Chains A and B, each alone.
Chain A
Amino acid sequence: MKVTLNWLRQYVEFPWSAEKLSDRLTMLGIEVEGMQKTGGEFEGVVVAQVLTREKHPNADKLSLCRVHDGQGERQIVCGAQNFSAGDKVPLILPGASLPPKLGETSFTIKVGKIRGVESQGMMCSPQELGLPDAVDGLLILSPDAVVGQSFAAYLGKSGSDVVYDLEITPNRPDLNSLIGIAREISALTGNPIRLPIIASLPLGNELASEVTVQVQDSELCPRYTIRLIRGVKIGASPTWLKSALEAVGLRSINNVVDITNYVLLECGQPLHAFDFNLLRDRTIVVRRAFEGEKFTTLDGQERTLTSQMLMICDAEQGVALAGVMGGRNSEINPATVDVLLESAYFKSQSIRSTSKKLDLRSDASYRFERGADIGICDWASQRAAQLMVEIAGGSIVPGLVDIQPQVSPPKTITLRFAQTNQLLGIAVPAEEQSQYLKNLGFAITTNTDSVTVTIPSYRVDLKQEVDLIEEIARLYGVDRIPSTAPMGVVGSHPFDAVYDELGAARSVLSGLGLLEAQGQTLISSKSANLVSMEVIALDNPLSSDMNVLRPSLLPGLLDALSHNSHQSLHDLRMFEVGRVFTRSADTVREERRIAIAITGHRHTATWSGDEREARVDLYDLKGMIEEFLERIGLRGYSCQRREGVSNGLFLESATIQIGKQTLGEFGQLLPALAKQYDLRDAVFLVELNLDLVLARRNPNKTFKSLPGFPSIRRDIAMIVTESTTHESVLAVVRQLNPANLDKIELFDVFRGKNVADGNKSVAYAFTYRHAEKTLTDQEVNPVHDRIVAELKQKLSASIRE
């Protein structure tokens, strides 16, 4: 909502500069989002009053004056002789410039010393201001000039002004008007609000016989009023009216329409003017539209209505979409002579849904849907009618049609003084609290510990005690509420520990050399379908790039890899910890996962070393998974190769199992997909269900004594078929449960020379150790020989001696 400084000043006085006003409004809860000074003549010249005039200590012809500029006192050195204390004069403030004389550049006033005494501005002659009157000395202004007013405004010229763009919160529809803002200023300053004076309208009730009004749906239209102005002459608006509207961004249309808009801005009440002679049978009917009824609004659009929408009709057809926009068929036009002026109150929800359904918003619908003032209908109608008579001529037909079947008594709310202080943490005395409420223009009745407030109809936001506490907080100033530390309570929530576990997981992963990524939750169905066909789609996506919830972190990581690859960055190692969303049957599930993606060189680029060109492979990834799970405290998992063609993402992959549960899957990305994502090297991916990892982990640690006796190592090198897995070797050994076997380590896998195709040579180191003594060969050999024999038999291994 836009307001101007000068327009506001018509309704209330305030001793503030433009900047100060902006600050005060902001601190009152009306945030000033923009502030624009509009030019004008006599910038920086104000009406000032000479308080004292004394001789200059160092110059006979000069005088030293104290002058009030409306904000405060200034010391001015002056050479003129034609004035005395009490006179009001134009004063140009430092920083402002005198209008340039022909052929000269303008002269800017500065604070400076004249004969050793500082002068903070300059009192002006008409010549200096470029005015036609010739006076020897200062321009003496009329005694009723307002000190502090801009000189331009004093002259009635379109002086400089300030346009404020205010953010009005949705709870305060009353602030969508100049008078509403003025009321707030009045509450803050204690200065009275000055409403425009409306001369008494002609008495009588001739209107009743001129027009028939029928409200068929008083639920959607609780109040409807009509006035009739006959004999107007449609034309251009006077300059003041045009410029008032234009200053706040409204286009001038014609005098009658401009007046309805002016009054709307002034008091917030939307008005509608019909060309009375275009209404059939001099009749107004307020009813719901018929389902599918067609109606052409003022903007020339034909709209299809529903039975939920409220229409204003004449005897035969719709003439306005109630509270939203008038109709083409009855609008004010150059030939209009008689104006039927509507001032009504419509139910906010109805206007809101109509305007939303038709995607049609107007200044009127904006105000009605937030909640208008049911009490102001008549006042606004009187104000507009009178302006029409003044500006467009014509006369008001005596009388008012006012249909309001249910008049509710004003609401009252009781505020306990102690409650204010308890909630805000301050001690505002009872009288002060009452005073704030009075300043807001509320009628109050004070009791011992409380005050009962009658809520004016325009304050639709005030419903209960706490709303009044907010009013007191605003006027007291939230900046004055002290900052104290809260009392010592320790909260509790089961997630608190999980938060730390997630942090620990992230920290292990970054320790493994992985950068943490954060992907979009919303991804394209195309990339989601790489992983799952059961995705959760948005009803109202913004674009097909982001139309489903991610069922996995992997598509997002692939996007991240791809983005980097396009920047010629090919050595990438990343992880993400995040939520994914899956659907099974009719339920949706949120699950935390971790995912890793690696590709490119194994080692950071360096200038020497044998492995410089090495690329990461599956076992780099697996090493990370093993290290991660060990650090998190998950043991006893196993890997199972997925046979056949896997789920569309992997060339080859394995699941990680713990018991019967699947923790996740890892493997190599399909080369075709890598190519599609513009990835140069092989890509290895893993995704694990982090909720499950955390649930199945055992983070407890117990100390095991350090070995006190030496161990004996025996190596076995053997040739086995390619299908013999490492796990199957371990299984053979585990089944024997060999005595004193401390650990088995695989230390070589070899294919090639002396190993037939389809076979491989594997070498294991077996370490035997006893906790309480040094083992002897005699103790170890039989055990070891049994292992060898078993491997030979079970795996058809041939032992290389």
Chain B
Amino acid sequence: MSFLDQIEPLKQQALVDFNNASDLQSLDQVRVEYLGNQGKFTALLKQLGSLSKEEKPAAGKQINLAKVQMEAALAERREMLELQSALPKNPTDFTLPGRRHKLGKLHPLTQVTDDIVRCFRKLGFVVADGPEIEDDYHCFDALNTPADHPARDAQDTFHLGGSNRQLLRTHTSSVQIRVMEKQSPPIRIIVPGRVYRRDNADATHNPTFHQIEGLYVDKHVTMSDLKGTVEFVFKQLLGDEVKLRFRPHYFSYTEPSMEIDFSSPVVKKMGKDWLEIAGCGMVHPQVFKTVGYDPEVWSGWAFGFGIERIAMIRYGITDIRLFYQNDVRFLAQF
């Protein structure tokens, strides 16, 4: 058999053997068998020198081509076998649970408060704050609720005693007075915070709970934009499908005053048409006089509502005490 005729069959055989090698080790053996120092193909290469001057160029070209092809095939096979060997012995179970580094979560009351704040900030409100330990003046008297006023009955107050008759604020409305004492109009604030009433804890009461209060004072402030603001906020919070109902009511520090009811599929499920959700009204002229604003120049409105109540409606929570128990199975749900 001539030299040239030997190249092709040897190469073909090598390619077959490469492909038959089932792992990297046997592939290496096959490589040595053909391309090692003592390899069959190496032997052929070595014969190249013994060819005649005429035969050499063509033979050289052909044998080099074969070598390149063999090396390429070898590399390809190696890559494949390397990939194979990298695979785990047993296939990975991708359905096994992952190793988690759990993030914490914010308390549902924090989340609802943040949402409410976000809605009001869209309307140019800023957040204000005030003390939780209050005095009679800021919690009641300045809000047009003197000591012998029957409206004080509704709010049973925790007292701390002391010469200045300190108490725990029963509503965030006390902050209205504190802010108006310090700032001149226009005012546009909301006040989220804890308030306290002397109610025994049950499914709907906790002696500590949260309210959010809003106050807007400027020239030409109307009841119309009170309604517009409250509607905007509740629709943002509870969804566009909620219906709101305003009806006249009484609060000593607003006149006219209204209560706000809302209706939604959730309320219907509770077997009710309307659920009371907030109180509001135009700031009483007496309150303005008390803080030194001229009620002939300034008008304003205020509203307030319970944050727990909004959270309970939003998430379908039926017992207010859950908010303060801090059961991690509860906290992890929101």
**Contact yes or no, A490 B127, CB < 8 A:** no
Chain A contacts for B129, CB-based, 8 A: 493, 495, 498-499
- Are A510 and B103 in contact, with the CB atoms below 8 A? yes
A515 interfacial contact with B, CB 8 Å = yes
Q: A786 in the interface, Cβ–Cβ < 8 Å?
A: no
A567 with B329, Cβ < 8 A, contacts A478-B247, A491-B125 known: yes
Let me know if A518 and B324 touch, CB within 8 A. yes
A493/B189 in contact, CB under 8 A: yes
Q: Does A308 contact B (CB under 8 A)?
A: no
- Does A483 contact B104, Cβ atoms closer than 8 Å? no
Select the stretch in B22-30, B41-49, B71-79, B225-233 that faces chain A.
Answer: B225-233
- Residue B224 at the A interface, CB < 8 A? yes
Residues B282 and A423 in contact, CB atoms below 8 Å apart: yes
Chain B nearest CB, measured from A21 CB (Å): 15
* A514 with B104: CB separation less than 8 A: yes
Report the bound CA distance from A604 to B98 in whole Å: 10
Complex Cα spacing A540 to B156, Å: 10
**Chain B residues whose C-beta falls within 8 Å of the C-beta of A503 in the assembled complex:** 114
Q: Bits for A546-590, please: 1 = Cβ < 8 Å to B, else 0.
A: 100100000000011001100101001111000101000010101
Given A352-B150, A479-B246, A483-B224, A499-B127 contact (CB < 8 Å):
yes
Which of the candidate stretches A103-111, A165-173, A265-273, A636-644 sits at the interface with the other chain?
Answer: A165-173
State whether A484 and B224 are in contact (beta carbons under 8 Å apart), knowing that A517-B326, A572-B328 are contacts in the complex.
yes
Listed stretches A40-48, A378-386, A462-470, A759-767; interface member: A462-470
CB <8 Å contact, A425 and B250: no
Contact B160 A466 (CB under 8 A): no
B256 in the interface (beta carbon within 8 A): yes
Q: Of the listed stretches A428-436, A531-539, A733-741, name the one at the interface; the rest are far from the partner chain.
A: A531-539
Q: Is the CB of A522 within 8 A of B207?
A: yes
Task: Report the nearest B residue to A486, measured CB to CB.
Answer: B225
Cβ of B107 within 8 Å of any chain A Cβ, yes or no, is yes
Task: Give per-residue flags for B152-181: 1 if the beta carbon is below 8 A from chain A beta carbons, else 0.
Answer: 011000111110001010000000000100
Q: Would A521 and B255 be within 8 Å (CB), given that A26-B247, A495-B127, A536-B160 are in contact? A: no
Bound form: Cα–Cα A518–B109 in Å: 8
Which residues of chain A are within 8 angstroms of B227 by Cβ–Cβ distance?
481-484
Contact yes or no, A496 B326, CB < 8 A: no
- Given A27-B247, A485-B232: A509 and B104 interface contact (C-beta under 8 Å): yes
B248 CB, min distance to chain A CBs, angstroms: 3
How many residues from A make CB contacts under 8 Å with B?
Answer: 92
Residues of A within 8 A of B312 (CB): none
Q: Which residues of the partner chain B approach A509 to less than 8 Å between Cβ atoms?
A: 104
Inter-chain contact A489/B124, CB cutoff 8 Å: yes
Closest Cβ–Cβ distance, residue B211 to chain A (whole Å): 14
Residue-wise, chain B 238-260 has the 8 Å CB interface mask toward A (1 for contact) of 00000001111110100111110
Q: Give the A-binding residues of B (Cβ under 8 A).
A: 96-97, 99-107, 109-110, 114, 117, 123-129, 131-133, 148-151, 153-154, 158-162, 166, 168, 179, 183, 186-189, 194, 196, 198, 200, 206-208, 216, 218, 220-225, 227-229, 231-232, 245-250, 252, 255-259, 282, 284-285, 299, 323-329, 331-332
Which A-B residue pairs are the 10 nearest by beta carbons? A425-B224, A425-B222, A491-B188, A29-B248, A169-B250, A510-B104, A560-B326, A470-B256, A170-B150, A496-B126
Knowing that A484-B222, A493-B126, A549-B133 touch, tell me 10 more A-B residue pairs with CB under 8 angstroms.
A28-B247, A29-B248, A31-B247, A469-B255, A478-B223, A489-B218, A520-B207, A536-B133, A540-B198, A559-B326
Report 30 cross-chain contacts, Cβ distance below 8 Å, ordered by A residue.
A26-B247, A27-B247, A29-B250, A422-B220, A474-B256, A479-B245, A483-B224, A483-B227, A486-B123, A489-B124, A493-B126, A493-B179, A493-B183, A496-B126, A513-B104, A515-B331, A518-B326, A520-B207, A536-B160, A539-B158, A541-B158, A542-B200, A542-B207, A559-B326, A572-B328, A573-B104, A588-B166, A590-B131, A603-B99, A604-B102
